């Protein structure tokens, strides 16, 4: 019951913030122009600063575990390739990019650390899991959303160059690169600078959630219910069912196993919607999946934790 209460405390406020965005739109406090500008601000400013903050404050050498990092990276890469194959089952090719991203991309940085801290009292192996997965999440999201746009271009040198340029100039990728360099060089984080970074970073999640809720259309979501449900099941159940037993066989326990669980089975991150919208996609499938996985993860994460506790793995 304690784990269930924690999960509900972690996920329901996120869902309710999205609902607030929808209510504000219906009440006339937000219009389409305002929501689009808010999405643009989060994508170009708040999210890059958030990922910079996550990585710049991690001491790579102190917490480094190559075996754990390689497992997280490989499990994430195989998950992406797997859901990419599944995406070809949908006749509507315009939703492929959104389906792939929504099926694999976890809210590891936001939910992961909070979840592990609640159990062990510290961030545990979450920073290493973030190092192994968040850059890959973002790079592959840019690739997938660039290549699989609703109005696709034929493959050419120009398209390849345009995609590569989009990856290299993507604000989130730039935020990751800056954070990694800052950490490796062990640059100091003066209090004034650190607080300013935190003030901008903290805007990413609430503004992104409200923008997503304000953009949500129930009729469109119903039309895409089948792929959204499929993506949600993959995100919360299928990936964890495949890779958790492998992690156990490899000897991962305690904080490492919980970090792997969060990586595989937590809700689809809000930033996936923001990226989809800002890269030419409709965003309805993504927002539906975020809402479903946000609610569902309160129960599925509790189920996985209960199972691992019963088997004395954590």
CATH number at residue 108: 1.20.1530.20
User: What's the domain range around 42?
Assistant: 2-310
Which residue, 270, 115, 138, 117, is CA-closest to 204?
270
- What's residue 29's pLDDT? 92
> Do 242 and 81 meet the contact criterion of CB atoms below 8 Å apart?
no
pLDDT in tens, the chain (314 residues): 666 676 667 667 877 888 898 899 999 999 888 988 888 898 889 888 887 887 787 776 676 788 998 999 999 999 999 999 999 988 888 889 999 999 999 876 555 655 665 666 555 566 678 777 877 887 888 888 888 877 655 556 676 676 677 667 778 778 888 988 898 888 988 999 999 999 998 888 788 888 877 877 666 666 678 899 999 999 999 999 999 999 999 999 888 888 899 889 988 887 788 888 888 888 889 988 988 887 788 788 888 888 888 888 87
Query: What is the C-alpha separation between 302 and 184, in angstroms, rounded?
Result: 36
- What's residue 223's pLDDT? 64
- What's residue 213's pLDDT? 79
When divided into structural domains, the chain yields a total of: 1
Query: What is the C-alpha separation between 260 and 27, in angstroms, rounded?
Result: 41
- What's residue 311's pLDDT? 87
Query: Quick one: tokens of 180?
Result: 């990694």
Encode pLDDT of 131-179 as tens digits.
778 778 878 888 888 888 776 555 566 766 766 776 677 787 788 889 8
Query: What is the C-alpha separation between 47 and 202, in angstroms, rounded?
Result: 9
pTM greater than 0.85: no
In three-state secondary structure terms, 123 is: coil
66-70 long-range contacts, Cβ below 8 Å, gap at least 24?
Answer: 67/250, 68/125, 68/128, 68/129, 68/132, 68/252, 68/256, 69/128, 69/131, 69/132, 70/132
Strand spans (E) along the chain:
none
Query: Quick one: tokens of 17?
Result: 């913030």
Which residue, 279, 297, 263, 207, is CA-closest to 20?
207
């Amino acid at each position: 019951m304690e784990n269930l209460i924690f999960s509900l405390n972690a996920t329901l406020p996120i869902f309710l913030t999205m609902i607030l965005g929808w209510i504000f739109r219906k009440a006339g406090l937000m219009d389409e122009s305002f929501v689009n500008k808010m999405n643009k601000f989060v994508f170009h400013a708040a999210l890059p600063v958030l990922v910079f903050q996550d990585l710049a404050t991690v001491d790579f050498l102190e917490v480094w575990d190559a075996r754990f990092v390689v497992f997280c990276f490989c499990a994430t890469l195989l998950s992406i390739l797997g859901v990419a194959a599944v995406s070809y089952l949908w006749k509507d090719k315009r939703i492929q990019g959104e389906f792939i991203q929504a099926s694999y991309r976890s809210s590891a940085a936001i939910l992961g650390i909070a979840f592990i801290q609640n159990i062990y009292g510290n961030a545990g192996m979450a920073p290493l899991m973030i190092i192994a997965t968040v850059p890959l999440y973002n790079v592959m999201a840019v690739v997938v959303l660039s290549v699989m746009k609703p109005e696709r271009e034929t493959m050419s040198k120009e398209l390849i160059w345009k995609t590569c340029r989009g990856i290299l100039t993507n604000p989130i990728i730039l935020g990751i690169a800056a954070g990694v360099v800052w950490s490796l060089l062990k640059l100091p984080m003066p209090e004034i600078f650190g607080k300013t970074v935190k003030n901008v970073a903290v805007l990413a999640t609430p503004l992104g959630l409200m923008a997503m809720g304000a953009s949500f259309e129930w009729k469109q979501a119903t039309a895409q219910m089948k792929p959204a449900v499929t993506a949600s099941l993959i995100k919360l159940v299928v990936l964890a069912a495949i890779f958790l037993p492998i992690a156990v066989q490899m000897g991962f326990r305690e904080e490492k196993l919980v970090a792997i669980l969060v990586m595989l089975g937590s809700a689809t991150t809000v930033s996936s919607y923001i990226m989809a919208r800002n890269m030419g996609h409709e965003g309805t499938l993504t927002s539906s999946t975020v809402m479903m996985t946000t609610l569902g993860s309160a129960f599925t994460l509790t189920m996985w934790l209960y199972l691992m506790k019963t088997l004395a793995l954590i």
